[in-house]
Amino acid sequence: MSENIVEIRNITKQYGKQKALDDVSFSIKKGSIVGLIGPNGAGKSTIMKIMGGLAFPTEGELSLYGATDEKGLNHARTRMSFMIETPYAKEKMTAKENLEKQRLQKGIPDKKRIEEVLRAVNLEDTGRKKVKNFSLGMRQRLGLANALLGKPEFMVLDEPINGLDPEGIVEIRELFRRLNKEDNITLVISSHILSELSLLCTDYVFINNGRIRGTFTEEELRTACSEYVQINTDNNEKASSILINKCGIEKMDVLKESGIRIYEKLDEIKDISKILYDNGVVPTEIAKNAVSLEDYYMRMVSEV
Ligand code: ADP
Ligand code: MG
């Protein structure tokens, strides 16, 4: 069952004359990891603030766990946690002291929870070190620990990977994956760099200038960005059976309008065209398509 736990319906957000969001709609399924991707100023934080009740739509409607009225939304938010823009922490306190303060504020009775969340984000060895001496990565992880305190079902994380070194990125991706798989936490994560989130998300929402530019499942994005060779011949039906039976190609799409796409043996394309020819099929088009993820993203967000 795929239950939508968030529905954003035609939301527009106006800050004075500035339109931060323009008729934005998308939904988030329970159990998914959604990447909200777009350049600085795109509207990512504004969407997250609206989800968290820190900003309100000028037009449109937000639904969280089926609730759309303010009371229902606030109740739904108790099942969620938010880390929006720079995580807040007291500079003169240690990680543990900060979390203890948050635990009391949130009314979480279980004292042991602090050790658990520190371990989860790999900050258990920071001891007496004060936050003012933390690296950006450590601060981000402390923000995550704080977001985990109340055992949320759903986490909204604004640029949590921003400023991490490559090793830190790998670590935090692993953490997100674990939270999603083992603890069944639904995640929405924003980033202005698509590759930070590639190989992690189950769904991608692209945004620029306050507008949604496209929504993709992981598979759709992979297909859109994959390398393939496009083949057209005077007999595509016959060609596809030759490709399967004589060339041993399994990863292939036969499209009605644009011909055949093969996704493997791309280096053997000369041999393949010869085999087609020798079997009585004349290739009329052979073209290689290679779009990198980042190229694709740039094209996506630069469309007006
Ligand atoms: P992102 O998080 O993708 O970088 P934001 O959601 O923060 O983008 O901002 C979207 C747009 O709305 C930007 O043009 C920004 O300047 C504007 N904006 C955001 N918050 C405010 C605010 N409180 N007042 C006025 N304009 C704002
Ligand atoms: Mg932002």
Q: pLDDT tens digits for 251-294?
A: 898 988 779 999 889 889 999 999 999 999 999 999 887 777 77
- The CATH number covering residue 267 comes to 3.30.70
- C-alpha 261/C-alpha 246 separation (Å) is 16
Question: Which residues are 285's β-sheet partners?
Answer: 232
Q: Would you state the pLDDT for residue 171?
A: 85
Q: Which of 223, 252, 284 is the last residue of a domain?
A: 223
- C-alpha 204/C-alpha 217 separation (Å) is 6
- 195 shares its domain with 230: no
Q: Would you state the pLDDT for residue 144?
A: 92
Q: pLDDT tens digits for 141-185?
A: 999 999 999 999 999 999 998 878 888 888 889 999 999 999 999
Q: Would you state the pLDDT for residue 220?
A: 85
Which of the residue ranges 129-138, 161-170, 249-258, 294-303 has the most confident prediction, judged by mean pLDDT?
129-138
Question: Residue 225: pLDDT band by 50, 70, 90 thresholds?
Answer: confident
Q: Is the CB of 45 under 6 A from ligand 1?
A: yes
- 279 shares its domain with 163: no
Q: How far is the CA of 20 from the centre of ligand 1 (A)?
A: 6
- 185 shares its domain with 234: no
Q: Which of 165, 199, 223 is the last residue of a domain?
A: 223
Q: Would you state the pLDDT for residue 281?
A: 96
Q: Is the CB of 105 under 6 A from ligand 1?
A: no
Q: How far is the CA of 43 from the centre of ligand 2 (A)?
A: 7
Q: Which of 199, 223, 247 is the last residue of a domain?
A: 223
Residue 230, helix vs strand vs coil = strand
- 97 shares its domain with 108: yes
Q: Which helix (H) or strand (E) holds 196?
A: helix 194-197
Whether the Cβ atoms of residue 293 and residue 194 lie closer than 8 Å to each other: yes
Residues 6 or more apart in contact with residue 112 via CB below 8 angstroms: none
- 153 shares its domain with 25: yes
Domain that holds residue 248: 225-302
- Number of structural domains (the chain) is 2
CA distances (Å), 44 to each of 48, 85, 111, 140, in order? 6, 10, 34, 18
Measured at the CA of 60, the angle between CA 55 and CA 62, to 5 degrees, comes to 60
Q: Would you state the pLDDT for residue 86?
A: 64
Q: How far is the CA of 41 from the centre of ligand 1 (A)?
A: 6
> 165 — phi, psi (to 5°)?
-80, 165
> 21 — phi, psi (to 5°)?
-135, 140
